[in-house]
Amino acid sequence: MNQISDEELYQLVKQLSETFFNKSFHDKVRFNSRLRTTGGRYIPSKRLIEINPKYVLEFEKEELHGIIKHELIQSMT
């Protein structure tokens, strides 16, 4: 998987949210290259999902989707 834009990342998160959780996604999502030991995180006070960009470049698509789904679950609690 090649590097994707922030808009493409948002669309991917939105699609996974609707497909797996039947919920529309209205929060923010962005890449954060400062993340070193985690694939992603959810910041409730900012309603923001941050994704480590190395997971787009170095890992399989399923790994990235798993990280996004995990963060989506965090955003729904």
CA atoms within 13 A on the CB side of 19: 9
Which position among 7, 8, 62, 71 bears the catalytic label? 71
Is 40 within 8 Å of 49 (Cβ atoms)? yes
Type of residue at 66: G
Mark whether 7 is an active-site residue.
no
The residues carrying an active-site annotation are 71
